Chains A and B, each alone.
Chain A
Amino acid sequence: MHIHFLDPFQPRQSPIHQLDPRVKFVLALAFILTAALTPSGAWSAYILLFALAFSATILSDLGASYVLKRSALALPFVLSALPLIFTTEGASLLDLSIGAWSLTVTQPGLARFASLALKSWVSVQAGILLAVTTPFPDLLVAMRALGVPRLIVAVIGLMWRYLFVLADEALRLIRARLARSGDAANAELRTGGSLVWRARVAGGMAGSLFLRAFERSDRIYMAMLSRGYDGEARTLPLPRIRPLQWLTLGVGLGILALLLVLAYLI
């Protein structure tokens, strides 16, 4: 079994896919920065931001529901902002009292909470679009162009290459445990062992995964040495960015800047 579903990249022939990875990376970051800089309660700006993200989604040929479904991932974290509803001062909308507790929902509190959730949601969409429309080697090129240190890019590249191998190893370990000790999630099938025992088994699995990784890294190192590796991470020079791509970058950044100005004016 091979974990291809780990890689979120979806090959298509859309304009978003054909955008230079560096331009796409910068635009995604600029989009997220714009969302972060938009003031709380600037609803029309959020609608425009969503419209931008959604337009890019449509252009990417992925189907609207794909990105929207994945973007639900960030939702659980919204819980951490829930206290805002009750702690921000302002006109009260609703009084809740549970026993001795009394909580007041305020209008500015609700507005700030909703703003935060929306901003986070559109930002996640930008991140998903970037990951889904860009093959990983292109992301590495973008990272290098943005000045990420060469050693880190090299380590991330190697990590990605062996991630699937080690994920397969981890799945094999999980399958072996499942075969020997029953289905841990199902109480009737669970056999043997207290909490500590289960943790110890999981720990042993982690230990053997690390050991295999170590030994594999030794073999990889030997293979690299025998092919002339001298400790230096070498890379091809970056290709030039074509004029049309520069134009896309400029227009994209211009739209985002305009949107930000609007957000403060409206």
Chain B
Amino acid sequence: MHSAPQPLHIPDGFLSVLVSLLFWLLTAAAVGYALRRVGKDLGDRQVPMMGVLAAAIFAGQMLNFSVAGGTSGHLMGAAIATILLGPWAAMLVMTCVVSVQALIFQDGGLLVLGANIFNMGVVGVAVSYMAYRTLQRLARGARWGLFAGGFIATWLSIEASALLVALQLAVSGVSPANVAVPAMGGVHALIGIGEGLITLGALAFLYRARPDLLLAGEERPIKGQFIWAFGLLLAFGLAVASPLASSNPDGLEWVAAQAGFLDARRASPFNLIPDYLLPGISNQALATVLAGVLGMLIVFAVTLLVAYNRRARRASD
């Protein structure tokens, strides 16, 4: 069921430590702000409502439909959470969903969790909110604003998350921008259509069954000018940065190298200790291998000892 991690969840090891920490900071700021705001929107029913909705989004990812060639459309949920709960609660819900996916199912790493929350929770929600509110205002309360807004919000939020992942990989020196940006952007432009259609179907169902849930946001408009502008800024920034980076990958590498984002090169420690060798062995490569094997043997020996000790104790019990 959770067989294949979705390509938006970055595993550990793919982002450099600096990038990971930077996005942890950004995420902490955004989530901290959302925590302060959310109490005003939902009152004291916030915990049950957000908890069960988060579980629904998690479970909703099992609902898929076959597209073609064995692939299928899934639901990520940032857009629909934004439409149903408003931006601040949606941000927290997505934070919880992405955290549990990483912690329990290894869908995405722990050190890079900050970046994953930022991509799917913060950016996904902010861009969704921007697109949805804009279209609703354009439609002036007409029904098509709801549906067009839902579809476009879903597609844009997925595309924005995908482009951000590509840029993060590029800045970390893992995947050059001229490969990562078109690949991620292209694949998720298609995935986004599938998800957009599911969101559309869900909104159509909810509109017929419980229109009050969808219209709740209009009756008591959530003051979201700030997040609207933030979403617009993010969408605009990604739209400008992605093609720029992909046509100019060396530029990004250069920035990365200047900021020290790229892996620390192995060369400098060699220069610091030019003739470092294991005593008695003159071949550098051999020494390295031997050191590794030796360490492994020691650790295994200790482990085996502990294991045998435990077995002996259990037998004597």
Contact = CB atoms under 8 A, between A and B. Distances in A.
Interface of A: 5-8, 15, 28-29, 32-33, 35-37, 39-45, 47-48, 50-52, 55, 58-59, 70-71, 73-74, 76-77, 80-81, 83-84, 87, 112, 115-116, 119-121, 123-124, 127-128, 130-131, 136, 139, 149, 151-152, 154-163, 165-167, 169-171, 173-174, 184-185, 195-196, 198-214, 216-217, 220-221, 224, 229-231, 233, 264-266
Given A158-B48, A221-B48, A169 B175 contact: no
Contact of A48 (B7, B10, B204, B299): B299
Name which of B51, B183, B197 has the most chain A CB atoms within 10 A of its CB.
B51
A156 B106 contact: no
A171 B102 CA distance: 22
A207 B44 contact: no
B254 interface: no
Contacts of B197: 196, 199-200, 202-203
Interface string B67-83: 11010010100001000
B3 to A, nearest CB: 8
A213 B55 contact: yes
7 contacts: A15-B306, A40-B265, A123-B13, A159-B58, A199-B201, A202-B197, A231-B46
Nearest to B165: A80
A158 B303 contact: no
B303 A163 contact: no
A223 B191 CA distance: 40
Interface string B102-129: 1111110111000000000000000000
Contact of B209 (A29, A211, A265): A211
A126 to B, nearest CB: 8
Interface residues of B, number: 105
A202 B64 contact: yes
B252 interface: no
Contacts of A214: 49, 52-53, 84, 210, 213
A208 B264 CA distance: 51
Nearest to B193: A199
Nearest to B253: A87
Secondary structure at the B interface, as helix, strand, loop or mixed, is helix
B274 to A, nearest CB: 12
A80 B51 contact: no
A128 to B, nearest CB: 6
Contact of B201 (A157, A204, A265): A204
A173 B63 contact: yes
B52 A217 contact: yes
Nearest to A117: B13
Interface in B30-74: 31-32, 35, 38, 43-56, 58-60, 62-68, 70, 73
Name which of B43, B64, B263, B276 has the most chain A CB atoms within 10 A of its CB.
B263
A44 to B, nearest CB: 3
Contacts of B184: 80
Interface of B: 1, 4-5, 7, 9-14, 16-17, 20, 31-32, 35, 38, 43-56, 58-60, 62-68, 70, 73, 75, 80, 84, 92-93, 95-97, 99-100, 102-107, 109-111, 169, 174-176, 179-180, 183-184, 194, 197-206, 209-210, 213, 263-266, 269, 273, 276, 288-289, 291-293, 295-296, 299-300, 302-303, 306-307, 310
Nearest to B67: A195
A44 B295 contact: yes
Contacts of A233: 47
B288 to A, nearest CB: 5
Contacts of A161: 51, 55
Nearest to B213: A214
A61 to B, nearest CB: 9
Given A58-B303, A231-B44, A44 B62 contact: no
B4 A155 contact: no
